[in-house]
Amino acid sequence: MKILLTGATGYIGRRLLPVLVKEGYELVCCVRDSDRFKVPDSFQGKVQVIENDLLDYQSLNNIPHDIDGAFYLVHSMSSSTKYQKLEKKCAINFRKALNKTNVKHVIYLSGIVNESELSNHLASRKTVEFELSKGQYNCTTLRAGIIIGSGSASFEILRDLVEKLPIMVTPKWLNTRCQPIAITDVISFLSKSILNKKTYNENFDIGGPDILSYKEMLLKFSKVRGLKRKIYTVPVMTPRLSSYWLYFVTSTSYKLAVALVNSMKVEVICRNNTINQILDITPITYQEAINNAFKKIETNEIVSSWKDAYASSGNNKNISDNIQVPTFGCFKDQRTKNFKNRETCIEKIWSIGGESGWYYCNWLWRIRGFVDKLVGGVGLRRGRTNNNSLKAGDALDFWRVLYANKNEGRLLLYAEMKLPGEAWLEFNIINNELIQTATFRPLGISGRLYWYAVLPLHGLIFKGMLRKLTT
């Protein structure tokens, strides 16, 4: 059986892929940027990668005709006024493309949309569901609320709030109820539904056994972590203030914060969860989901993270757009130094950022991250998904990994902080020498003034960082 997987580089897609391979399916992964997606060696021969853009109908012509099933795992959390039209267009293009194939079953992962008044994002999900259901195939929609798992946006936001704030003064929407579900259960529902005739042409709500307010979720989270927290809700916090509150306290982007605040005013509680009996799945509790997530974190087994999605920065460029570091009209800070041990040097480079920091003057990096947050950037709070590995597409504090090859000894990063220009940071090992290069392509006079203003700090930071990496 051949299955088409859209959103293969996303949070859900990365976790669903190995499960489907294990179950014996042949997979065709649709990605917008193939440079971000590396098929594991153990999956070679079982996974085909095709590059297309759902907004470009012509690009979908490379979808194989002999597919049996398909997953639609594409979502937008943009605050752009155009995103609803774009999501609708993507769904229509996908439907038209699949109508030309032999596909029997399409599964769409949506949000719980049972209330009469929905946020714009949940209303958009409902529109996508409607458009996909008009295809010449059997369509199933699984509707989930808050997904709890290592690396999920909801989990990371809860973690940030609980671990950073002993006392919280919060907006009144924290009293809104929801029905969280563990990521492991979401994957089980998805994998067991595909090509299952009992699910054809139906929609199902999927959720865990607990119905909790967001306030109760925070308090239960703090209990699991052994932390005492006080939460006070106030009726005067506007949606804009609520969004800024989430944005500055957590690792979320402002666009995602706006989308979450608008959606959190709506109850997301299951009304039709008969699929539990159909598929014989008993979802785990909220507390068990939290415990499982921390087990993955402690053993450094995070498979995917929402932070690695381009939506975490608002940058929609493909890796290939930036992987060629320009030279014309650019400023460079290039430094070289011999190292004592190649393996030690590479391990230090591959551990950079996140909890390890940037090895020298970390307080200056933190200040730069704080300033970036003030002007609407991503700041340093995104950290890194995995402490031991880096791959193309990963978020790394306010950088994006463009290229990472340990054997070659080369790591290339692209800045996603707010800048009057574009910036790259490259580490390259040649023979017994580490070459560290910071490249900045200024945008107008402001970019040139910025470069000269920070030049003294670069001299301090980059010199110290190079020394630490090579000793």
Interatomic CA distance for residues 417 and 362, integer angstroms: 16
**Does some domain include residue 428?**
yes
CATH number at residue 256: 3.40.50.720
The pLDDT, as a whole number, for residue 81 is 54
Interatomic CA distance for residues 43 and 105, integer angstroms: 24
Does residue 231 share a domain with residue 92?
yes
Does residue 385 share a domain with residue 239?
no
Residue 195: left (phi > 0), alpha (psi -120 to 50), or beta? left
Does residue 263 share a domain with residue 119?
yes
Does residue 120 share a domain with residue 30?
yes
Candidates 130, 113, 110, 147; CA nearest to 268 is 113
The mean pLDDT value for 133-137 works out to: 95
Residue type, 186: V
Local confidence band at 137 (pLDDT 50, 70, 90 cut-offs):
very high
pLDDT in tens, 441-451: 999 999 999 99
Does residue 375 share a domain with residue 246?
no
Local confidence band at 79 (pLDDT 50, 70, 90 cut-offs):
very low
**Domain finish residue from 266, 299, 332:** 299
The mean pLDDT value for 180-195 works out to: 97
Residue type, 191: S
Local confidence band at 314 (pLDDT 50, 70, 90 cut-offs):
low
**Does some domain include residue 308?**
no
The pLDDT, as a whole number, for residue 15 is 93
The mean pLDDT value for 58-82 works out to: 83
pTM to 2 decimal places = 0.83
Q: Which residue blocks in 299-443 are alpha helix, DSSP H?
A: 342-350, 362-374
Total domain count, the chain = 2
Does residue 202 share a domain with residue 130?
yes
Does residue 372 share a domain with residue 280?
no
Residue range(s) defining the domain that contains residue 73: 2-299
2 in Cβ contact with 71 (< 8 Å):
no
Local confidence band at 208 (pLDDT 50, 70, 90 cut-offs):
very high
The mean pLDDT value for 77-95 works out to: 79
**Does some domain include residue 18?**
yes
The pLDDT, as a whole number, for residue 305 is 78
Local confidence band at 323 (pLDDT 50, 70, 90 cut-offs):
confident
CATH number at residue 334: 3.30.530
Local confidence band at 41 (pLDDT 50, 70, 90 cut-offs):
confident
Does residue 164 share a domain with residue 105?
yes
The mean pLDDT value for 277-286 works out to: 96
